[in-house]
Amino acid sequence: MPSMKAIKRRITSVSSTQQIMKAMNLVAASKLQKARQQLNLIRPLYDNIKLVMDGVQSGGEALDSVYFQEREVKNIAYLIITGDRGLCGGYNINMCKEGRQLIHKHVKNHSSHEKIVIVGNKGRDYFKRRGKNVVKQYTCVSESVHYEDAERIGKFLTELYMSGEADEVYVVYTRFATVLSHEPSVIRLLPLGDEEGSGVQHGPMTYDPDVNTFMDYAVPMYLNTVIYGALAESNVCEWAARMTSMDAAAKNAEEIIDDLRLDYNRKRQGSITQEITEIVSGANAIQ
């Protein structure tokens, strides 16, 4: 049995850890609020450019573009968005498992080779330990989302696709619903046209100066916006998971402290009882 001194020392240690968890919970809550505000500004942009691309697809004039052409699938590029840090529950491991399952599914169906583009240190470490082909990695992006980062990533993925090094491009990210509800999601980024349309009827579209020039301008903007939105969604989910984990850790620490205090009080009461017994026994012996 641990001594009273050891129990008291552990209570102090757990209390210090609890204070750190509470502070990290407050920081995560503040970061989550800012990330949600950013996401609310991004979603209308994505929705509107998605409507434009649905109109292009339904019109049919641009379907001869290289961005819509299906190829024999030999190489697939995966953009997998994870975090740079831990202490966020199962967020990172769930993302890595989702990406790994998607890769295994495609290898089984198409006998394809993967080219993995990773956002975040956690995903990089996960896939490198398992010997996967990580061709590019981006760090210090997941917790501070900027459109310029999405442009850099989008340009690299587009170059892989246009050069023929990748026949399909997928984005694996976490979609935010509520603070307690966020699940891994997958989007096929290239080629375009596999996802269901919005259901909105589009009239005839005119292109100025021509459809090819329009596609060269609109498609990179669409791809960058999708990546930007995925980064923002994942950022919100990461902070939500971290806030929830820190809150749970603080509550667990409180329970541990209560149990330790109960043990300490029992130990102290036992010590007092033993001292009283010794005093009474000594008094009786003298008499």
For residue range 80-94, list pLDDT tens digits in order.
999 988 888 888 999
**96 is an active site residue:** no
Task: Take residue 141 and report the two structure tokens written for it.
Answer: 């992006």
Q: Which residue has the higher pLDDT, 41 or 275?
A: 41
Q: What is the pLDDT of residue 198?
A: 46
Contact 216, 243 (CB under 8 A): no
222/154 Cα distance (integer angstroms): 10
Closest alpha carbon to 240 in 183, 286, 167, 282: 183
Rounded to 5°, angle at Cα 40 from 137 and 236: 45
pTM, two decimal places: 0.83
How many helices (H) and strands (E) are present in the chain, helices listed first?
5, 5
The pLDDT, as a whole number, for residue 205 is: 66
78 residue type, one letter: Y
CA distance linking residue 153 with residue 228, whole number of Å:
9
Per the structure block, which two tokens stand in for 82? 């994870």
Mean pLDDT of the 57-76 span: 77
CA Rg value for the chain: 28
Burial class (CB in 10 A: 0-12, 13-18, 19+), 82: buried
Catalytic residue among 88, 96, 140, 237: 88
What tokens were used for 176?
A: 């935010």
Compute the distance between CA of residue 67 and CA of residue 69 in angstroms, rounded to an integer. Answer: 6
| Residue 267 confidence class, pLDDT cut points 50, 70, 90 | confident
Phi, psi of 172 (to 5 degrees): -115, 115
Q: How far is CA 175 from the centre of its chain?
A: 9
96-151 tens-digit pLDDT: 999 999 998 888 777 778 899 999 899 999 999 988 889 999 988 877 888 999 99
Strand stretches in 73-167, DSSP E? 75-81, 113-119, 134-138
State how far the Cα of 8 lies from the Cα of 14, in Å rounded to an integer.
Answer: 10
